[in-house]
Amino acid sequence: MTAALVRALGDFDLAEEVVQDSLVAALETWPKQGIPDKPGAWLMTTARRRAIDILRRDRRYRDKLALLERSDMTSDPAEADDRLRLIFTCCHPALSQEAQVALTLRAVAGFTTAEIASAFLVAEATVAQRIVRAKRKIVDANIPYRVPAGTELADRLDGVLSVLYLMFNEGYLSRGAQAAMRRDLANDALWLTRLVARLMPDQPEVVGLQALMTLNLARSAARFDEAGEMVLLPDQDRSRWDSVAIADGMALLDRAGAMHAPGPYQLQAAIAALHSEARSWADTDWHQIVVLYDALLGHVDSPVVRLNRAVALSHFAGPEVALGEVNDLALVLSGYHLFHSTRAELLDQLGEPVLAREARRRALDLCQNPAERSLLERKLRS
Amino acid sequence: MRYVLMFVGSSEDQDAFEKLPKEQLAAAYERAGRWFEEHSKAGRIVGGAELQGPNTATTVRLKNGKAMVTDGPYIEAKEIVGGFAIVEVKDLDEALAMAKGWPAGAVEVRPVVDHSND
């Protein structure tokens, strides 16, 4: 019955949930009203009705319907394996990462080339050419259609996850000039990640990435105000965060953690979880966040991670210490707008408005996202 | 499926390699030799050779119907092909796995055109 509903609804979690609900309804109703003539059909009808109710009530109803149209998630193991093979082939390292992203969106998520082009702000012909070339290379160089095994799996899975995360980030905070956030793309990245997580349930980093995306999306409603202006984490109205999604994200993180193999996505999800748990920016467990950033640096020593760590550090070690750490990154991060806006914030705290202003101007010069630009402009005016 | 694995290194790599102390040079050659031996035994290597340096190269180029002979490699590149192996494997992943086992520098993997059905 669940399998049939999965096919009908295209959503495994939802199908399971409504089957559970209809069984509960049966337990409550049948003893009172007697067992219906066709109990199986009764259960099915109840489950379907329940599913429609849930979908209607969901404020992401339309998003989900759009997803359902192109998803044919199935519990048929042969088809599931097929899909997984397809994802690994699309994300083969012998293809450029741009091609991997385009091909995954096209072949797995069912995007049109026009949709991919608009999501990444490139010409449709460019996307089409990327896809054609990638497909040709798959055939000509005989890139196998398989899920790698053994020691190869970890590396290749990393590649798949970075494609999914890139897709998500492009959706979550678009570089483009059209919209600050493309929820469709972020949602689709989450959908794909959930698919991989379901097909490879014993891979903690996949679940970790799913948790990270879920926790980030949970804050969506508070990230922009009525005028469409971006609101940063310290100023967000936390009552607008989606507490159900946060609980989901936490549960996912617990499930990943239970596998005892921490990795960069789980650690980033854990940092997001600490933010989600805090009642306010000031109440945030900054010590723990710095500990998590240190662990993250053990996996990926990137200057951007160091920059974020410095922000967390400033909350208990003070802005001067943090600014020292940030300044150490000048050589590698001078072209990154968040390096300059972070410096601006710290300089403000240190009572250096002139230097802060200068740093903010440089951030503005480098920033492409319209919402972030507008935020910087507002601060420069104030 | 047949692929050619081209073993590539910069000329600085090459110079440094040649200046290695005797034992280290021998060890490096031994690792490469073992690679060839292992894959040959498994039937994956169809052919291949180690090439002498680019200073020994001569290029013949057809220009206006005339063959011109010039000193040096066909292109002045930072990286040069030091040798190659022709391999017969199932797919690109197997070819890449072989390339990953090569002890030094870069390896370019190129599929060979199959003319058997022409």
Domain boundaries defined on chain A: 2-70, 76-200, 203-265, 285-382
Q: How far apart are CA A116 and CA A99, in angstroms?
A: 11
Decide: A234 and A215 in contact? Cβ < 8 Å.
no
- Distance between CA atoms of A62 and A31, rounded to whole angstroms? 38
Residue B103 falls within a domain, yes or no?
A: yes
Interchain CB distance below 8 Å, B90 and A94: no
pLDDT tens digit at each of 382 positions of chain A: 666 666 666 666 666 667 767 776 776 677 667 777 777 777 777 777 777 666 655 544 455 444 444 444 445 666 777 888 899 999 999 999 999 999 998 888 888 888 888 777 789 999 999 999 999 999 899 999 899 988 888 889 999 999 999 889 888 876 554 555 565 788 889 988 998 998 899 999 999 999 999 999 999 889 988 887 889 999 999 999 999 999 999 999 999 999 999 999 999 999 999 999 999 999 999 999 999 999 999 999 999 999 999 999 999 999 999 999 999 999 999 999 999 999 999 999 999 999 999 999 999 999 888 888 999 999 999 8
Distances in Å between the alpha carbon of B71 and those of A376, B13, B55, B61? 60, 22, 8, 11
- pLDDT above 70 coverage of chain B, percent: 100
Q: Cα–Cα distance between A55 and A11 in angstroms, integer?
A: 11
Query: What pLDDT does A65 receive?
Result: 43
Closest CA to B5 of B107, B81, B113, B78: B107
Do A199 and A210 meet the contact criterion of CB atoms below 8 Å apart?
no
N- to C-terminal Cα distance for chain A? Answer: 60
Q: Residue B4: closest CA among chain A residues belongs to which residue?
A: A141
Out of A140, A146, A148, closest to residue B111 by CB? A140
Percentage helix, strand, coil for chain B under 3-state DSSP, each rounded to 5: 35, 35, 30
The answer to whether the CB of B112 falls within 8 A of the CB of B3 is: yes
Give me the number of domains chain B comprises.
1
Q: From the CA of B28, how many Å to the nearest CA of chain A?
A: 25
CB contact under 8 Å between A144 and B96, yes or no, is no
In-domain check, residue B86? yes
How far is residue A271's CA from residue A222's CA, in Å, rounded to a whole number?
18
What is the CATH classification number for the domain harbouring B31? Answer: 3.30.70.1060
Q: Which two tokens stand for residue A34?
A: 């007697």
Does A140 sit within 8 Å of B92, measured CB to CB? no
Question: What is the model's pLDDT at position A42?
Answer: 72
What ipTM score was computed for the predicted complex, to two decimals? 0.83
Crossing angle, helix A77-90 and helix A183-199, to 10 degrees?
A: 120
- Fold assignment, A285-382: 1.25.40
Interchain pair A141, B90: CB under 8 A: no
Structural domain of B34: 2-111
The pLDDT of residue A183 = 57
State the count of interchain CB pairs (< 8 A) between A and B.
20
Question: How many Å lie between the alpha carbon of A379 and the closest alpha carbon of chain B?
Answer: 49
User: Is residue B54 in a domain?
Assistant: yes
Q: What is the arithmetic mean of pLDDT over B91-108?
A: 93
